[in-house]
A and B are shown apart, each in its own frame.
Chain A
């Protein structure tokens, strides 16, 4: 295929600095929110001794999962040899690092003692998946930087494939590690399942790709670079496949849990009686996150309209946030089943009297911190494409597809 020319993002300076200013303000507010939570203690948040992980963790896990999925596009080009995707590899790597950085920032700032990050980095209990995740996340950053280098530096282009393979495998391990955070917990009915690691992998494919498409469309539109239908529709159709896979794994998760009587309580909670969690599941996870985007992607008319495609990506993202909310917070809200066959009449520690779910409501500092993570990820991406030659000059059909080029 034609040699791809990469250029820095040439957005007008006023608009670029304006964008950075807005994102910077959001990130700064998040920093203040984190300081507020750390100084006073977590009593200022909605988190309690029953729901110990709240909105910051929803954002953090979402960003981390999306980060691994964002690298998918580069992997398709390098590992699976699809030439059409190769020009997108650099942005893919940058976006994955940016999203991971944003997610980790939120996670670390929500710790009860964030000043002990050095302790976390030097003292390890290797039976803990958290400890492994520290290595998986930081190692991922190093490997993706190396991957980007092999892609961008011509002298080491030959190493792009082996490094790409390592990055691909590492990414799968990382996402499985994130899913295993919950999958390994025997204590809670919603967790304790081997399907969570692969489900997180499939979710990462969809969420990462949706964010990637939106970032790509925005960057090209602002810089007036051509993006042809061939490339866009490839990505759109791929998104459709991934979203369908999410539906499949969600179905598997719930059908398996529904089969065993011991899980009927938690399934009824999530699917029927859980109030906000049920709404988030059906409307957020299933309808907005999966069915509507599928409908758009495979619609003969809407699926070819750029605005609708962007809307579908946005819906996948919202649905992803809802899904992570249901998994993390819904999973905690449902009471522990300590006395099967018995009902709890009274408890001094909110053990689920009469099966009642634990209370949780997102507080403003938590939401601000979570959004700040998104802002940090976008700042890194914006600065990266501005300063580095990561965006192909053109993704028009002639450039992307040799058949079109031959005809035209």
Chain B
């Protein structure tokens, strides 16, 4: 029974991790930026969802509509924040060293930490309405909230959706070309700048959506972003920067490792994730799935 509990917990957590890490790895694949502010977009998504759901409830909509409110919140965040960040900040640093760009995104993280506090204040928000929408799932020993399982479904939908979009559509193939090598793509006539802009916006959307979807499960308060940053980095490094399968495998590894630790060796819950990250970096720095990239001789 313990094994089943660990498995279920692990897959639920892995689903959450995957949704969070997907945007991060995509943005790295296309723009070659390891975005520390990804966690900030997650937090803003959570806060915005809290606000949107509160409005939807106050306008008299039933709790089922709050799901739509959450998705709309993510869209709003992407539409408003992504252009400001990409055109207003990142654009000035394209072409610089990878580490310089990480520092730029760190600056963005700092700015957004305070910006979030200035807009929403330091008090915690609770988005309770959607949480009980799917009732409870009872097993002999455990009782799970149905909402947690929708996370699994959602992760699968996201993953398959992005995979299909990249591999089976014309737009996706263009994006793959840019991921492979933006120089070659540009020489083929692809508008790399436009691909980057849209890819970044999509990445922000995914981050915000992850935050929005998670908001009913937690209390939305300051400090949300920093925890998400570090754990999503671990997943993406383990799986391989820029790889979607990598993000999935990384999420599963980290999710199961954490569930295992929580139930058998609680002291290891936190550090096991980072030990895995360190081990991958030491023995296979490119991660478990190297992103498809042209080798520059």
A binds B: no
* B interface, CB within 8 angstroms of A: none
